[in-house]
Structure 1
Amino acid sequence: MEIRLWSVVAEAGALAVAGPGARVHESGDTRFAAGPDATVVIVSGVRNAEDVTVAGPFPRLVEGRLTGGDGPGLQVFTRLPEGLLVLGTARITERGRRRGVLHRVDLRLDTPLPEHLLTLAGTTAEQPGTDWLDLLPDDPVKALEQFTAGWYADVPAGDPVPGTGQPEPLRAFHRAAAGRAELYGGALRVHREPRPGGPDQRMIFGEGGDGTFQLLIDAGVDDPHVYYHGLSDQPLRERERLAAYLMLSVLARAAIDGSPGGMAFADRAQARRIVAPLRRVPLRPLRWPCAHSRLYAGPDLIALVGADDADWFEVYVGARSRPALRRLRKLGLDWASFDG
């Protein structure tokens, strides 16, 4: 099937370009059709007039085509409100791998977009990436710095809280949070300076957003244990120490308070589909908001999956942009809230 460059077509017409018997796959916000005539790639924006970045994970058949030297060419489309804009043929300029697995492909359009169509197509913001995950569990302080620098890249940094006398993980948090007020508020609030007053002479360094519990640490310890005061009769100790806890708390805040985002109750199969394209954060689960609350991350989406029993999961998702949530709209979830 032939289509005209820079025309707007329906999705069915774009998929038909791949040829008869094409196999259609979806990964995150990208849709692929692998057929005898072409490999169709449908994205939600371009980096500039010539370049398109396609993020993984990639279905096995598609990955084979993107890494093999031969095979049908690439035909690229980008979404518009009224249909798909034909971007035409493209070639691969770079393949990004992590631990041997393809996680990103950069494409160069054979015919650059003219300026008026570039405005129409919309450029995608540079994704923050997930390289910070490779620093875990060994260096949560550095991972926190890298994540916040990428996730909140559009928020100008400010002057950090001095943090004099505070343990290094808290000082690092203040440096990362400088100018980003949302990192101090929301579901998990971190105080700019710990204060005395906790049980067993512990310091209060934060609290739940609704005031139902306080966050405690022991004074004078480089990387102390973290305790919840108010969730049970006795202070409840977190699984991770302060440095790793702060990393998890920033991710939890991005998932719970993120907008666009949402919250849903999901069964096990639905929860697996939600996190399928994401990487599990390699730290032990939080004890709040659920007894076992695991974090999952992608370039533009953070998910928290909490389990209090074996049958149902409490799921929170936060994204950097609404297109990152498009895949979740199709899962048939019972959303308690959703603004994607």
Structure 2
Amino acid sequence: MSDERWDIVPESDVLPLAGAAARIYRTPSASHVLGPDAFIVIVEPGDRPDGTAVQDRQFLNLAGPFPDEVNAYLYNDLQATGRRTAAARSALLGFVRLREGCLPLGPLTFSGGGYEPREERLVEYRLGLEHALPFDVLDRVRPLLPAPPPPRTTWLELLPDEPVAATREFVTDWYADVPPAESHTEMPQVPIPPPLAAFYATAAGRKEILGRQDPLFPPHELRLDKDGWLEFGAENQGGFVLAVDPTATDPAVLYRYWTVEPDTDPFDPHPLSTFLLLFTLYEASFAAPYHAFANLTTEEAQLLTHGLRRVPLRNRWFPSTDTEFHVGNGLVVQLTPRENGTWYTFTSARHRAHLEPLR
């Protein structure tokens, strides 16, 4: 590597940067060094999407629980963000502990966090890297592990006539690494249409399959509203509630409370059976452990989807009418055209190595 900023340094040279009488707190994934001159974090190498690790070329994530003094320092810093200048804070420096020494990540800047306000405990603390890591450096601090064979795409051959069976095959392969929940035998207390019952049986209590972006309700929480509609899911910010006629075999899906006018809530153009497949693809493209997103030209979108199979269904839900899904090589790609002629994409994978060719 020609850039000296990524040169390995001995850990004995790192610790003094925090200043005199610095305190060191070691956790399984990182060492936190607090001193008068700097807060230093030395993380262990590895790929931990939901834990303490270098997450990508530009971000380092610290996940709790934190030692008490570290929590107090970071919590106070998070609370003070926006009320004092960056110059007033202690320096934030990052390193990754490798076998041969510590690899500098350079200066870090606060970029977000989460906390439990009642206990004043941090859940996570997200830091941005001042200088994006080259891919070869990223692969040293977050080693790329071999991926298993990608999920099959034979379920596409069941479309458009058998969406329930297609959903079952897609979920079985895509979420093969997520074991069924022990309590998945919980049953709804109200009648539900057959496609929804089949979907819950396939999900087998796994919350991830019920969605994170705009989740469906667990079966034991299903209720009928005052008008007799079965409400089974909701938009993540309360923009609408998904509802169906519970007595129909494969009912249309209603977006309740989308509008302020009575009796004008829109229906999805697909029946429930197809809606649930598109819902599953939509959630998979957003919420897999590994994902990438970008604005692409038409040529770049064609390069991205080359070698993938296009799902022969359009329109995730009202009012988006032109969203496309492409699958294959361990990826689910969601493409939506924009008014300026570009395409916005969310691309997800269950294993990071399946994303690596997109570099």
TM tier, shorter chain?
Answer: 0.5 to 0.7
For 1:309 and 1:196, locate their aligned partners in 2 and report how far apart those are by CA, in whole Å: 39
Residue 344 of structure 2: SS of its match in structure 1? strand
Pick aligned residue for 2:196 from 149, 170, 175: 170
For 1:121 and 1:202, locate their aligned partners in 2 and report how far apart those are by CA, in whole Å: 48
For 2:144 and 2:339, locate their aligned partners in 1 and report how far apart those are by CA, in whole Å: 45
Does 2:150 match 1:127?
yes
Pick aligned residue for 1:145 from 168, 171, 174: 168
Q: How does 1:200-211 map to 2 (within 5 A)?
A: 201-211=228-238
Pick aligned residue for 1:181 from 202, 207, 210: 207
Equivalent residue number for residue 237 of structure 1: 267
Q: Which has the larger radius of gyration?
A: 2
Aligned length: 209
For 2:242 and 2:337, locate their aligned partners in 1 and report how far apart those are by CA, in whole Å: 21
Q: Using the TM superposition, give the Cα deviation of residue 235 of structure 1 relative to its aligned residue in structure 2, in angstroms.
A: 1.5
Give the root-mean-square deviation of aligned CA atoms: 2.4
Does 2:225 match 1:197?
yes
Q: Output the amino acid matched with 1:162.
A: M
- Work out whether residues 187 and 257 of structure 1, in 8 Å CA contact, stay in contact via their aligned partners in 2: yes
- Percent of residue pairs identical: 31
- Work out whether residues 216 and 232 of structure 2, in 8 Å CA contact, stay in contact via their aligned partners in 1: yes
Equivalent residue number for residue 351 of structure 2: 321
Change in 2 beyond 3 A, CA 1:121/1:276: closer
1:90-114 CA deviation, whole Å, 9 max, x = no partner?
A: xxxxxxxxxxxxxxxxxxxxxxxxx
- Work out whether residues 250 and 271 of structure 2, in 8 Å CA contact, stay in contact via their aligned partners in 1: yes
Q: Output the amino acid matched with 2:231.
A: I
Change in 2 beyond 3 A, CA 1:290/1:301: same
Q: How does 1:180-329 map to 2 (within 5 A)?
A: 180-193=206-219, 194-197=222-225, 201-233=228-260, 234-287=264-317, 290-309=320-339, 311-329=341-359
Q: Using the TM superposition, give the Cα deviation of residue 310 of structure 1 relative to its aligned residue in structure 2, in angstroms.
A: 6.2
Change in 2 beyond 3 A, CA 1:160/1:138: farther
Q: Which 5+ residue runs of structure 1 have no aligned equivalent?
A: 1-119, 330-340
More strand by share: 1
Q: Using the TM superposition, give the Cα deviation of residue 322 of structure 1 relative to its aligned residue in structure 2, in angstroms.
A: 1.4
Change in 2 beyond 3 A, CA 1:129/1:278: same
Pick aligned residue for 2:178 from 133, 147, 155: 155
- When the two structures are superposed, what TM-score results if normalisation uses the length of structure 1? 0.56
For 2:218 and 2:353, locate their aligned partners in 1 and report how far apart those are by CA, in whole Å: 34
Q: Using the TM superposition, give the Cα deviation of residue 230 of structure 1 relative to its aligned residue in structure 2, in angstroms.
A: 4.2
Change in 2 beyond 3 A, CA 1:308/1:302: same
- When the two structures are superposed, what TM-score results if normalisation uses the length of structure 2? 0.53
Q: Output the amino acid matched with 2:224.
A: P
1:169-195 CA deviation, whole Å, 9 max, x = no partner?
A: 111111111142111231121112432
Change in 2 beyond 3 A, CA 1:223/1:257: same
- Work out whether residues 155 and 179 of structure 1, in 8 Å CA contact, stay in contact via their aligned partners in 2: no
Q: Using the TM superposition, give the Cα deviation of residue 133 of structure 1 relative to its aligned residue in structure 2, in angstroms.
A: 0.9
